[in-house]
């Protein structure tokens, strides 16, 4: 245990567990979750795509496959 940290009492642990359970019961807004996931995937693909193409082209040209 790090210096300066007090032990958590069983009562405090129960309160924390109840808060986490309440948070877990909240409904997930699937529409926004899906939109967020798709936008993140698009962002990653837009960043990685140019790099991946450059590497693929350099590998193919070094093996004489593009000649």
| Domain ranges (residues) in the chain | 10-62
Measure the N-to-C terminal CA separation of the chain; round to a whole number of Å.
64
Residue recorded with tokens 């808060």: 19
CA distance 2 to 27: 36
CA distance 28 to 17: 20
Task: Give 22-67 pLDDT, tens digit per residue.
Answer: 888 888 777 778 888 888 888 888 888 777 665 555 555 565 555 5
Residues near 66 by Cβ (< 8 Å), separated by ≥ 6? 57, 60
CA 58 to chain centre: 30
């Amino acid at each position: 245990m790090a210096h300066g940290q007090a032990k958590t009492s069983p009562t405090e642990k129960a309160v924390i567990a109840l808060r986490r359970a309440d948070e877990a019961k909240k409904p997930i807004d699937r529409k926004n979750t899906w939109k967020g996931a798709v936008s993140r995937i698009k962002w990653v693909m837009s960043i990685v795509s140019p790099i991946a193409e450059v590497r693929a082209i350099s590998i193919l040209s070094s093996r004489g496959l593009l000649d």
